Amino acid sequence: MNSKIMNFIKKYNFIILFTIGVLLRLIWVLIMDTYPYTDFMWYHVKAVEISQGKGFLNGIYPYYTGNPGLPTAFRPIGYPGTLAILYYFFGINFLVGKLFNVLLSALIMFLTYKLALKFFNEKVAFFTLLIFALSPLTICYNSVLGSEILFSAVLMLSIYLFFVKNNPVLLGLLIGYLTLIRPIGMFIPAIFIFFIFIKKDMLLKEKFKYVLLFGVFFALAVSPWIIRNYKVFGEPVFSTNGGYVIYVNNNDYAIGGWSDPYKYPDSPFLQYRTDEWFDEMAIHKLGKELAVEWIKENPKEFLRLAFLRLANSYWWQTEEIKWAFTIKEETGINEWHPIHTKFIKLQKLLYRPYYLVLFAYILYAAVRFIRHKKVDFNTFILLVFLYFNAMMFVLEGNSRYVFPLHPIYGMGVAYVIVRVLNFILPRIQNKIKIK
């Protein structure tokens, strides 16, 4: 009987794990009444306003209610626009966005498993799915109305189509959509283009043709947003959040993570903000100018903060799970659920060793690429890692930037785990036989 059960589990391990992963996420969003706060409330309010035909409007913390006649480009329209479509058809309800996260998570699990199976083996695919499906962080985050899960799902779909279908038209449109979801993704096309040119299975002429088609359809996807911003702000800006972010993380008061620039002594931003409105373009320009000037004048401090940003993202401030525990009290004020500190400790306990294994894998992938000129899926994961860490190195230390990459990083972690187990287990069995 036990043998039959084990054979059944082995044969249907994907279906079993996938089902458990989906059910855990579904149960979580139904029992945990996460109430959006800060960025997540911004996404919700903007989505509501778009769904009601009011436009994509400038609004200020904590309620973010849009000011009629004052458009925003503080963040790209990708996630609030997608959420607005859902609200329009299914009604304005937090649960709509949360159930959408569950659907996206199911897609992520499916694509991650398939990619791991294609480029590694069944054991690696199993551990990849096991890690992602049962992770408290990837479960709890489904109740957060943030852009991370959508970004992760579209990224994984782009990678899957790139390696399986390899259609530059479809990929260009999809990557264009991806860049409109989170500003950190605006240079992601460089990863795919670079990988195309270092691949050895395409002629140079084919590579140029591929990149041209990819570029044209990528431009078609993002150009409406850029044209709209040019008409509104007089500049083809992608996001007016860029100058704000780079300044917050590169100034005399920077701490290697987010801090409130409006509370800095003699804050240069205060002149562009009232209680109901802020001049986001002025802040974007000033922030970028001040940050670049500061970096030039303080190169050593910039490097110290840059490495601190990475350390915070992977070690000291790995606590993004807390956003699943913001609840609304009877007073109408957001509070932290009493158990949120326990889940933060659990996340640190699980993900600190996870990241150590990840770094070992990245080192392995880097050695293969540099010393042995290997260009394969491991190389692609390496390029993804380098890109996002380069962005965090300059912009912001934030574990929320790492979270959307957990599916692709999980494959690397699972690969190392399987390699270690394949090395250790035979030796343990031999010792047992000898005894």
- Render pLDDT for 7-17 as a digit per residue (tens, 0 to 9): 555 668 899 99
For the chain, the domain total comes to 1
Q: Average pLDDT for residues 227-249, to the nearest whole number?
A: 95
Which of 263, 255, 369 shows the shortest CA–CA distance to 308?
255
Query: Does residue 140 contact residue 32 with C-beta atoms inside 8 Å?
Result: yes
Q: Average pLDDT for residues 9-34, to the nearest whole number?
A: 91
In the predicted model, is pLDDT for residue 371 greater than 70? yes
pLDDT for the residue 166:
83
Q: Average pLDDT for residues 44-71, to the nearest whole number?
A: 95
Higher pLDDT, 315 or 431: 315
pLDDT for the residue 331:
58
Question: What mean pLDDT is reported for the chain?
Answer: 93
Q: Average pLDDT for residues 338-343, to the nearest whole number?
A: 94
In the predicted model, is pLDDT for residue 314 greater than 50? yes
pLDDT tens digits, one per residue of 52-63: 999 999 999 888
pLDDT for the residue 424:
87
Query: Does residue 132 contact residue 138 with C-beta atoms inside 8 Å?
Result: yes
Q: Average pLDDT for residues 218-239, to the nearest whole number?
A: 96
Structural domain of 307 = 2-434
Per-residue confidence band for 329, with pLDDT thresholds at 50, 70 and 90: confident
pLDDT for the residue 12:
80
In the predicted model, is pLDDT for residue 4 greater than 80? no
pLDDT for the residue 396:
87
pLDDT for the residue 1:
46
Q: Which residues does residue 328 pair with via DSSP β-bridges, in sequence order?
A: 334
In the predicted model, is pLDDT for residue 2 greater than 70? no
Tokens of 183: 């500003």
pLDDT tens digits, one per residue of 175-225: 999 999 998 888 999 999 999 999 888 888 999 999 999 999 999 999 999
Residue given tokens 């059960």 in the structure block: 5
**Percent of the chain scored above 70 by pLDDT?**
95
Q: Average pLDDT for residues 370-398, to the nearest whole number?
A: 93
pLDDT for the residue 435:
57
Per-residue confidence band for 330, with pLDDT thresholds at 50, 70 and 90: low
